[in-house]
Each structure stands twice: as structure tokens, then as C-alpha cells.
Structure 1
Amino acid sequence: MGRLSNQVALITGAGSGVGLAIAQAFLAEGAKLVLAGRDAAKLEKAAQSLNAGDAVTIVPTDITDPAAVAKLVEQATAAYGKIDILVNNAGTNLKARTMRELTPESWQTLIRTNLDGAFYCIQAVLPQMIARKDGVIVNINSVSGKRAYPLAGAAYVASKFGLAGLGNCLAAEERENNIRVSNIFPGEIDTPILEVRPNPVTEEARKVILKPADVASAVLFVATLPPHVSVPELIIKPTAHVYS
């Protein structure tokens, strides 16, 4: 019996990178999984790599559409009866990210994916967690949600600061319903999002930054703690980098 046996987890942005690594970690501990993401082909490939049969369900979803998110939660609940753990992992960035380069359209792209999408998922899952007086919500943030690093860009930073505030406020509001909310703030991670950096990331730099499995281990730690224990914030960074 794994530590997440009889638990159902909904993971957004689950087709690759950190989302897929979290799925692998949760599955190894006995959880049933609902994987969400925009790209149906990537989700199918991810599910095949997990090779878990009926323990994994994929639901292609655009989380920037509240109606689509409501349908996602309906399908997830219909598949397994409940959602115990929500992992808001979906996120994006753009190459043209400085304040001078941002447009109203590109600003909205980042805010809608990185912040609005998490809100829609929380809003759709929260009623059943409140009814059960139990639930875990993990927001995959970024150290850019703690420090306004120019490298990340103004819109990305704003979206991540907003996500931190959303998580902290939710945790305070729903603490009496035993709903635990954790904001995890990783430093640089070797994932496909690096491909949209304004300047290419060298192989040497990739060697010392976090791997998706590192972040997945942090998420698993939070998700497997006893119900009376909550981790509001967890910062994880490459040893070689400075956090200041």
C-alpha cells in the first residue's frame, strides 16, 4: 500500500516536465491520476509512458476557459468519485517578456494561464473538498513569485506573485475545513519552458539546475504529510544558485 492509496490527484500541465514527474511520483505511491493539458497527443504519450491502465485518465483541457475547467472536474470526479489532491502546475512564459515588449495580448496570455487557470481549477474543485472537509491543493509557483527577477519578465512575475497571494488567502479561509494549500517556489528547472528564454540556456547551465523529479519530490512530501500538518510555502532551488 502506497502513501497515496485511495487518493485521487488532478494534475494540470501534466503532459511533460514537472507535471509528468509529479504524476510518476504519485502513481508510485498508489494514487489514481487525472492528467490535464492542452495538447491531447502529449497527454496520450504521457499516459502511455506511465503504463498504469485504469489508474490514469487524461482530459485535454484549456485551463484558461472556466467552462472547460468545470467539465474537467466533472469528468475527473465521474471517473474516480472524488478529487483529493489538486496540483496547479500548468504555466507558460514568452520570449518577448520585458515591459517594453509586452502587449495587452501577451500580458493576458500569461495572466490567464499562470493565474486565472489556477483560480478556475480551485473554484471547480473546492466545493467537494469543503463537503468532505478534506483536500490538498498544491500551486507550482516559482522563485519569481517571491522575487521580481527581471529574467522572468514582468507579466510572469506578476502572475506568480498573484498565485502566491491566491494560495495564501485560500489557506487562511479554508483552514477550518482541513483544506491544506501549499505554494511551492522552485528555482530554475530543466524543462521545455527554457526553450522560450530570450537567450539560449547552455548545456553547462542545465547540468546544475533543478530536474522535474526534484520538484516532484517536494510535491510528494507536501501531499503525504498527515492531515494535521500543512506547509504553506516551500522554496527549492539549485544548490549552485543564490537566493536573494
Structure 2
Amino acid sequence: MNKSANTVVITGATSGIGLGLAKAFLKEGYNVVGTGRSAERLQATATQLNAGESFLCVVGDVAKPESARAAFDQAVAKFGKVDVLVNNAGIFTAKPFVDFTPDEIEEQIATNLKGVLYSSQAAARHMGERKHGKIINITASLAMQPHSNVPALMAVALKGGINNATRALALELAPYGVTVNAVAPGLVDTPMNPPNTHEYLGKLAPLNRIADVSEIADAVLYLAKADFVTGTILPVDGGFSAGK
């Protein structure tokens, strides 16, 4: 653990993009605070990362305001500050909108919307007081360019809303020296997309493949270092959002 190092809070850090982000930030020398709902999965992640005191597990439901506060309180207690928040935790379900149950709709709103708002609120308070910090939201390329072959209205509605919230919060926090941006991935090689789907999914993007998690992490790391970029939605999608 290095208290002089930068510290990042990553929500949903136990798999997929979140796990890739944790690896990337640790490699860059950051202290990493990873959040998740399962203590068992977080511990397994800590073991896999083998980062010792540089990785802190915080168990909680990102959709609850007390979980966001706990992540920042524990991060500050251990590392002294938080420099970057990555709002990564999310649920993506591709199916016709009429097939969503009320419980599924509420779950998507809780995780994909409330989770970003509460964590960003905690970050804005902490970073605003310090006059320094970066908030990075993981949204979705699909929210910028819906596709008839990928029915996902909930993702379009909620991630699209977060894209606009990113711009609004960037304006609000600019006087405090805090930047707010978003990375909008397209289809990515994560457990959410089994290998047998990769060939078909790749054809949806002009570059004719899906992304590697490391390519999403590279974009996030860029925004974590960029001091004169704010209010930007950066698509990392092989050209998917450019149109067809």
C-alpha cells in the first residue's frame, strides 16, 4: 500500500470490465477500492489480483446511498483520499421491452441509475472539497445508436440518461476542478457474451469484432489522466455508434 499513490473506487469490480479495470489501475500504481454485493466474490477477486494492501474490498449494494458513502469512507480511512471514481456496476439485458417484468425494470433502475447517482454524489462531495478528482461513467454505445438486432430499451433509456447526466455534472463540478466523463463500450469479450456469440456480435460493428476488456480499460485510464477533458462521452465500440 502506498498512501501517496492515487486511489480509484471501482463499482462492480468482481468480473468483466470491472475486474479488467482493477487490474489496469493496479498496474498503473493506483490503490484500488473494489465494490460488489458478494463478500465471497470480492475476496476471490482480491486473491486473484494478489495486490495485498493496495486493494480494498467494500461489500454493499451500489443502489443504496449508504453503500456509496461506505465505499468513500473506507477508502479515505485507508488511503487518505479518492482521486477517481469509475461507475462500472451495471446490468445489461437484451430482450423485447414488453418482456420485462416490473421487478426486472426496478432492478435495472436501481443498479444502472441509482447506483451511478449515489456514488457520483459521494464523489462530488469528497472531490469538490479537495478541488480535484475525476468521475468516469461506464455507459453503452447502444445508448448512442440503438440497433434493431439488439432490443435493449432499458439500456438505451438508462445509459442514455447517464450520458446526459455526465454532461450536466461536468458543468456543475467544473468550478471545483473535477472532471466528469463517460466511456461507452460496444460489445466486449466478457462472461456476459459467451465465445460462441463472438463471431455474430462482431459483425454488428464496422471493425468486425468485439472489444477486449483491456481496450475499455485503456480509454478509462486516458480519462483518469486527462485534466482538460470533461463532459465527453467516448465510444469504444469499433465504430458501432457511427451508424450503419
TM-score by length of 2: 0.88
What residue number does 1:149 align with? 147
CA distances 1:55-84 after superposition (whole Å, capped 9, x unpaired): 110111211111222222211221111111
What residue number does 1:34 align with? 33
Per-residue deviation, 1:118: 0.5
Structure 1 CA distance, aligned partners of 2:161 and 2:191?
23
Structure 1 CA distance, aligned partners of 2:199 and 2:173?
44
Name structure 1 gaps, 5 residues minimum. Answer: none
Structure 2 CA distance, aligned partners of 1:73 and 1:13?
15
Structure 2 CA distance, aligned partners of 1:228 and 1:17?
29
Q: Give, as a single letter, the amino acid of the residue that structure 1 aligns with 2:224.
A: A
Structure 1 residues 214, 144: CA separation in 2 closer, same or farther (over 3 Å shift)?
same
What residue number does 2:216 align with? 215
Name structure 2 gaps, 5 residues minimum. Answer: 203-208
Structure 1 residues 49, 175: CA separation in 2 closer, same or farther (over 3 Å shift)?
same
* Seq. identity, %: 35
Describe the SS at the equivalent of 1:222.
helix
CA distances 1:82-141 after superposition (whole Å, capped 9, x unpaired): 11100000011236x322112322111111111110001011121110111110000011
Structure 1 CA distance, aligned partners of 2:115 and 2:241?
30
Give the conservation status (yes or no) of the 8 Å contact 1:144–1:152.
no
Farther off after superposition, 202-211 or 45-54: 202-211
Describe the SS at the equivalent of 2:91.
coil
Structure 1 CA distance, aligned partners of 2:38 and 2:211?
24
Alignment coverage as a number of residue pairs: 235
Per-residue deviation, 1:173: 0.8
What residue number does 2:129 align with? 131
Structure 1 CA distance, aligned partners of 2:160 and 2:192?
19
Q: Give, as a single letter, the amino acid of the residue that structure 2 aligns with 1:204.
A: E
Per-residue deviation, 1:233: 1.9
What residue number does 1:122 align with? 120
* Two-structure CA RMSD over aligned residues (Å): 2.3
Moved over 3 A (4+): 228-231
Describe the SS at the equivalent of 1:36.
strand
What residue number does 2:8 align with? 9
Farther off after superposition, 121-130 or 145-154: 145-154
Per-residue deviation, 1:229: 4.1
What residue number does 1:171 align with? 170
Q: How does 1:188-199 map to 2 (within 5 A)?
A: 188-194=187-193
What residue number does 1:187 align with? 186
Give the conservation status (yes or no) of the 8 Å contact 2:198–2:210.
no
Q: Give, as a single letter, the amino acid of the residue that structure 2 aligns with 1:210.
A: A
TM-score by length of 1: 0.88
